[in-house]
Each structure stands twice: as structure tokens, then as C-alpha cells.
Amino acid sequence: MKGRYADENIKWIPALIGLVILLPFMLKGITFSYKYYLYILNTIGIYLILTVGLDILSGYTGLISLGHAGFMAIGAYTSAILVDQVGLPFGFSLVLSPIIAGCFGFIIGFPALRVSGMYLGLTTMGFGFIIRRLIIALREWTQGSGGLAVSSPKLFGYTFNGDWANYFLVWTLAILSIVASRRMMKSKVGRAFMAIRDSEQAAEASGINLAQYKMMSFFISGVFAGLAGVLMAHTNHFISTDHFDNMLSIYFIIMVLVGGIGSIYGAVLGTIFIVLLENLIVPVIEEWLHVLFQIEAGDIESLIFGLIMFLFIIFQPTGLYGMWLKIRIYWKLFPFNPKQRFT
Amino acid sequence: MNSLFTEISQEIVSGIALGSIYALIALGFILIYKATEVVNFAQGELMMVGAYVNFFLIQSFTSSMGAPTFLTFILGLLGSIIFAVLFGWFLDLIINRPMKDEPVFSIIMATISIGIVLRAIVGLIAGPMSLVPKSPFGGAHIQLSGIIISILDLFIIGAAIALVAVFYYFFNKTRWGLAMQATSEDPIAAELMGVPVNKVYSLVWIFAAIVAAVSGVLLAPRAAILDTNMGFLGLKAFPAAVLGGFGSIPGAIVGGVILGIIETVSMGTLSFHFQWVKEINDIIVWIVLIAVLMIRPTGILGTEEIKKV
């Protein structure tokens, strides 16, 4: 039997997929600088894959990761080396590199079994630093901190060249990741993750193997981050360790938190919101500040992000998705709203 | 052989000085953690703010009173401590009060976001250039059988030991210290026994801000550079706190000094003699952290935490 609020409105999904397909054509019709917007959309798609994975780890299983850019770096560099230096086809690396990143997630899962809370945050943060250093140390393959040029993705004899082709590659995989992660979180695995998040002791008492499921969560999250890394490497055509610094890991958490932690759609919404803010709104604000107050605002971006994250944590802990749910329930019950519930 | 010995002792001495600074930052984490079970990831940024306030105070004193002396340094230190008191109280008001019953994850993220905001605001006010603070002792140093120890390093070590001792005494012997211990054990029971829990929380944040300001004031002349990246050094004090045992005040100085020595020795002699050590220089503290967490998560002086279901 279906509950009143546990509804899953599937009618939306084909419409959304249609919108994703039509969006580039609409942009091309509206503006001449559509290529810039396509680039932003590609960035959203790539980050979205990662934040969905991060949400599985942090939102569903309740494990903190402050080093997710490290997994992304592993995926990116593994794929770049496998395709350009070993000579594997891109399609093969698209499968293999995320799995390798997932295995690193498995390794970092070991200390996670013993520590929790802020200790885990520290461990994963250290992992991010160590991965960056490791990439620089393996300069025979990665060319150290100088960066690495990467070839375009080739699938089934077709070369994805430019933002237009990349858009469809990235968003196909992004939609697949969203669907796959939603299905996963509705299955036994997802329920086990949520049980661990809510109470480790209760979960263990009801027969959930804590070690196994925590490792699995890290593995899945690593796979998603690795996939994002592969796509980033091959659509950007250039990667360096500066692309994966620790600030990026924090930005990913901001995306998940702003969107609404513990829901896949929340991660998606947060990613769209933050990337659009970074690329469209922040430059405008910087220009205003420059014109109005003659301030050369160097770091206004992180100021805005920090403030947004802080305000969301204090005033809207359920994020954008939680806001949307509240509005929806409000309208559903419209004439009979219990007032105090929505204040 | 003698020269190698001198070299290593020299590195150990400067490692102790560096470790004392780590110990001071770690002391800030531990104070807040002990009383409120919150981990303040913005401690490094608090330190940076303290250093900047001190720098600007000294600058304004010198412009009005002439050449910098030891007196201006002390006045600057006092000024930044007064600022830190206000600032710590303010942080308690905006972070700790509204987030009392939130999960750890949210609180960690809130302190991280405060850190980001502080870094950006200081960057906006002070401009993008890094500043060059001067040591109050000039280049004064003493020499002990070939080992050079600067007076500033001695001052740093002394200040760290003194502050750790003061807070150890405060926590274990005074009335307010016992109130803090009671609060950390069980806030509700403490409140029922008449402990003003909210005042205790404010006091702890103020103490942490003071410790951070002192460490910033001492670190800036030692590093001879002051920019907004100084906040990242606060992250390095986490491994120190974990190594010493989170929640143990003497653990701060033990962990800090051990970590400082490990870092300077690996940067100096070990890197010189072994090629591969050079690669792991700047992540060695994180390797130590992960090793400690895998082997003994409670640290050297920490006590086992028992969790109620």
C-alpha cells in the first residue's frame, strides 16, 4: 500500500529527460554565447555525479568525507594514463577507472570502521592531501604538478569533440547515475545505509553487517567520484593537481548541504544551484562591487559560499529539497494547514 | 658524526618550537571539545585573525609612538587578546547557541564555513599582499655548543608550557574548571546542579579564541610572513591533538612537540639522506594521523570513551 507522502511521481521523469535533451537547442536559439552555457551545464553534470555519490556516503550512511576531490583525482588520472599511455580504449577505461577509484574508497573505509564523527573527517581530509602528493610523486606517469593533457573521449568509433558532443555524453551518464542511485537507495542496501546512519547499535542488533555496509558505501561513493573524474579529465582535456585541491572537496559538501542532505534530488538541486551561482551570479556581484565601491574583490566567491552554507545549516538544515517538500505538503493540505508545523 | 649530531639537535630544537605552536592551536581545539564536544575547524582562522589584529595594532602604535619596542609588542598582544575575548563570545553566540543539539556533521560544517568566511573577510580588509611582521626580539639568539636557539623560539616554548599549565590547573582545580568538566560530562545534569551551562560555553569559546590569538601572534614573526593561508596551518594541529589524545590538555603539548620534531627532522636531515622522504614531507603529519587512528585512536594520553546506547 502506498502512503500519502511516500509518493513517487514518475510522470515528471520523461519530461525532465526531454528538457535535458532540448536544453542545448533552446540555448542555441536564445543566445550566441551558448557554448559558454553548455560548458557550465557540462560542469553541472560532472559535479552532479560526484555529489550524488557523496550524498550516498554522507547523507544516507552518515559518514563524513572531507577529501572527495581525492577520489575524483584518482579517477581522472587513472583514466588519462590508461587511455593515453597504456592505450586502452576509452569505453574500457570508463568502466575500469571508477572501479579503481572505488577500490581506494575501500582502502579508506578500513580506518572508517574504527573511527567516526570528526575523526573520520580528519582521516578523509588527510587522504585528500596524501592523494595529491602521491600524484605529484608519481611524476613518471603524471608529469608531477605540471599537469597532464588528455585526449577526447572516443566511444564506438565516435569522437566526442567540443562541448556540444560532451554535453550528451556527460548528461547521459549523469541521468543514469541519478536513476541508479535512487534505485539503490530504495533497495535493501539503501535501507541498511539509512539504518546505520540513524543508529549503528540498532542496525547491528538487527543483523546488518556494519563493516561490510560501511565499506560498500565508501566503494559506491568512490565509484561515482571516479566516474566524475574520468569525465572531467576527458572533457577538459587537461588535468593538474590544482584542479583537485581540498577546497573543492568542501565545495562538494556545500553543494550537498545546500541541496538537502539525505536525498538524491537534493544533491542534484544543490549542485545546479551552486554551479550556477558560481558562474553566473558571482561575476555580476563582483562587477557591482567594483563599480559601486571601487573594491577589487578578490575572494568574494568563497565569502558568498561560506555565508550561504552557514545560513543554510542554521536556518534550513533540510536544504532546498526540504524547502520544496514543505511547500508541496503545504499546498496538498491547503485549507487545513496545521499552522505551527510550517513556521 | 659530530656535525650530524649538531644538525639533528638543531632540528629538534626548532621542532620543539614549531611543536609548541601546534600545541597552542591544539589546546584551542581541546578546550572547546572538552566542554562542548564540538570540534572547531575554524581554529586556524581564529589564529590568523589574531595575528592580523596584532599586526595592525603594532603598526598603529609604531606610527604614534615611534620605533617598535618590546612594550609595543606587549601592548599589541594585550590588544589582540581583548579582541579575541569579544570575538570568541561572538562565535559562541552564532555557532554554539543555535547548534546545540545538531549532529556532529552539521557543526563541523558550520565551523568550516565560518573559517571560509573569516578567510575571505580578512582577505578583503587586508588586501591580497602578504605582510612581513617583525620579531620583537630582533634576531637575538643564544648559542649552546653549536646549536643556535633564537630568543623568540624560547619565548614560544615558554608561552606554550605556561598556557598549557594554566589551563590544566584551571580545569582540574578551580570552581569554573570543574563546572566545565561537569558540563562536558552531561549538560542537563550539570544545569540541574546549578551550573550556568550557557556561561560555561561562552567562557570556553573565549578561552579558545585567546589561545588562538596568542599562537597567531607568536607564529607570525617566526614564519616572517602573514597572509590568509596561515589558517591552513590550523589543520596541521589536528594530528597533534589526536596524537596527544583529544580531550587531554597535557596531551596537546606532548602531541604538538612530537609532531613538530617529526616534521622538522624529516624536512631536514632525513630528506637530505633519503630521497624518498622528500616526497612525503608536507603530508607526513597526515600519515602520522592515519597511523595513530589505526593503531590507537585514543592517542597517547587520551582515555577510552564509553558510549551509551
- Contact yes or no for B235/A125 (Cβ under 8 A): yes
Whole-angstrom CA distances from B94 to A317, B45, B100, B107 are: 15, 16, 11, 12
**Range of lowest pLDDT (A71-75, B16-20, B288-292):** B288-292
pLDDT at A3: 46
Which of B32, B40, B117 to mutate to test binding with chain A, by most A CBs within 10 Å of its CB? B117
Angle in degrees, 0-180, between the axes of helices A34-55 and A210-236, rounded to the nearest 10: 170
Residues of chain B in contact with residue A314, where contact means CB-CB under 8 angstroms, are: 98-99, 110
Is there a contact between A73 and A229 (Cβ–Cβ < 8 Å)? yes
Distance, CA of A297 to CA of A138 (rounded, Å): 37
User: According to the model, what pLDDT value does residue A53 have?
Assistant: 92
CA B147 to chain centre: 26
Classified as helix, coil or strand, B226 is: strand
| Closest by Cα among B239, B222, B219 to B283 | B239
pLDDT, position A338: 60
The stretch B47-55 carries a mean pLDDT of 87
- Quote the CA–CA distance of A112 and A64 in Å, as a whole number: 10
Nearest-Cα distance to chain B for A328, in Å, is: 25
The question of ipTM being above 0.85 is answered as no
Calpha distance A48→A271 (Å, rounded): 6
Single-letter code of the amino acid located at A181: S
A76/chain B closest Cα distance in angstroms: 21
Cβ separation B279–A137 shorter than 8 A: yes
Give me the pLDDT at residue B280, please: 75
Q: Which residues of A touch B283 (CB under 8 A)?
A: 126, 129-130, 133
pLDDT one-digit tens code per residue, B257-281: 999 898 888 887 777 777 777 777 7
**Which alpha helices (H) appear in chain B, and where do they start and end?**
2-36, 43-65, 70-91, 104-126, 151-173, 175-185, 187-192, 197-223, 233-244, 249-265, 271-273, 275-279, 284-295
Distance CA(B255)–CA(B288), nearest Å, equals 11
CB contact under 8 A, A302 and B120: yes
Q: Which of A119, A298, A313 sits opposite B110 (nearest CB)?
A: A313
Q: What is the pLDDT of residue A52?
A: 93
B157-179 average pLDDT score:
88
Cell reading at B291: 597511523
**A238 - beta bridge partners?**
A149
**What is the pLDDT averaged over residues B38-64?**
84
Residue A113, chain B, CB below 8 Å: the answer is no
Instruction: Give buried/exposed letters for B31-67 (b at 16+ CB in 10 A, else e).
Output: bbbbbbebbbbbbbbbbbbbbbbbbbbbeebeeeeee
Which of B48, B116, B246, B275 best probes binding to A when mutated, by most A CB atoms within 10 angstroms?
Answer: B116
Burial of residue A7 (CB within 10 Å: 0-12, 13-18, 19+) is exposed
Q: What is the pLDDT of residues B178-237, one digit of tens each?
A: 888 888 778 788 888 888 888 888 888 898 899 888 888 888 888 777 777 777 788 888
Q: With an 8 Å Cβ cutoff, are A303 and B128 in contact?
A: no
Query: Looking at the DSSP assignment, which residues form a beta bridge with residue B142?
Result: B149
Task: Give the pLDDT of residue A161.
Answer: 77
User: Which residue from A119, A254, A298 is facing B123, i.e. has the nearest CB?
Assistant: A298
For residue A295, list chain B residues with Cβ-Cβ distance below 8 A.
124
Backbone angles phi, psi at B147, to 5 degrees: -95, 125
Instruction: Give the gap in angstroms from C-alpha B303 to the nearest C-alpha of chain A.
Output: 15
Take residue B301 and report the three cell numbers written for it: 594520553
CB contact under 8 Å between B309 and A295, yes or no, is no
Domain extent listing, chain B: 13-230
Least confident of A49-53, A307-311, B60-64, B289-293: B60-64
Residue of A nearest to B281 (CA): A133
Calculate how close chain A gets to B151, using CA atoms only, in Å: 34
Note the pLDDT tens digit of each residue in B193-210: 888 888 888 888 898 899
What is residue B37's three-state secondary structure?
coil
Q: Residue A260: closest CA among chain B residues belongs to which residue?
A: B106
* Burial class of residue B86, CB neighbours in 10 A (0-12, 13-18, 19+): exposed
Give me the residue from B120, B121, B238 closest to A122, CB to CB. B238
What ranges in chain A are assigned the alpha helix state H?
12-30, 34-55, 68-81, 90-114, 118-137, 139-142, 162-186, 188-198, 200-205, 210-236, 246-259, 264-276, 282-293, 300-315, 319-332
Provide the residue count of chain B.
Answer: 309
Cβ contact B116–A314 (<8 Å): no
CA nearest to A41, candidates A199, A160, A165, A134: A165
Of the CA atoms within 13 Å of residue A149, those in its CB half-sphere come to 1
Q: Which three cell numbers stand for residue B194?
A: 546549578
pLDDT of residue A47: 92
Mean pLDDT of chain B: 82
Cβ-based burial of A104 (10 A; exposed 0-12, middle 13-18, buried ≥19):
buried
- Spatial contact of B204 and B180, defined as CB atoms under 8 Å apart: yes
Tens-digit pLDDT string for chain A (343 aa): 444 445 555 677 788 888 888 887 787 777 777 788 888 888 999 999 999 999 999 888 888 888 889 999 999 999 888 888 888 888 888 889 999 999 998 888 887 777 777 788 888 888 888 888 888 888 777 777 777 878 777 777 777 777 778 888 888 899 889 888 888 888 888 889 999 888 888 888 888 888 889 899 999 999 999 999 999 988 888 888 888 888 888 889 888 888 888 888 888 989 999 898 888 888 888 778 777 776 665 677 788 888 888 888 888 888 888 888 888 887 877 766 665 554 4
Q: CB-side exposure of A286: number of CA atoms within 13 Å?
A: 17
Return the SS3 of B51: helix
Q: Is A305 on the interface with B (CB under 8 A)?
A: yes
Nearest CA in chain B to A255: B109
pLDDT digits (tens, 9 = 90+) for B89-140: 888 888 877 777 777 778 888 888 888 888 888 888 877 777 777 777 766 7
Q: Find out whether B245 and A119 touch, Cβ atoms under 8 Å.
A: no
pLDDT the model gives residue A298 = 61
Confirm if B96 and B111 have CB atoms less than 8 A apart. Answer: no
- Which residues on chain A are in Cβ contact (under 8 Å) with B282? 129, 133
Residue of B nearest to A311 (CA): B110
For residue B238, the chain A residues in CB contact (below 8 A) are: 122
Q: Which long-range contacts (CB under 8 A, 24 or more apart) does A177-183 make?
A: A177/A48, A177/A49, A177/A52, A177/A53, A177/A224, A177/A227, A178/A48, A178/A52, A178/A264, A178/A268, A181/A52, A181/A53, A181/A55, A181/A56, A181/A224, A181/A264, A182/A264
Contact criterion met (CB < 8 Å) for A119 and B293 = yes
Could you give the CA distance from residue B235 to residue B38 in angstroms, rounded to a whole number? 16
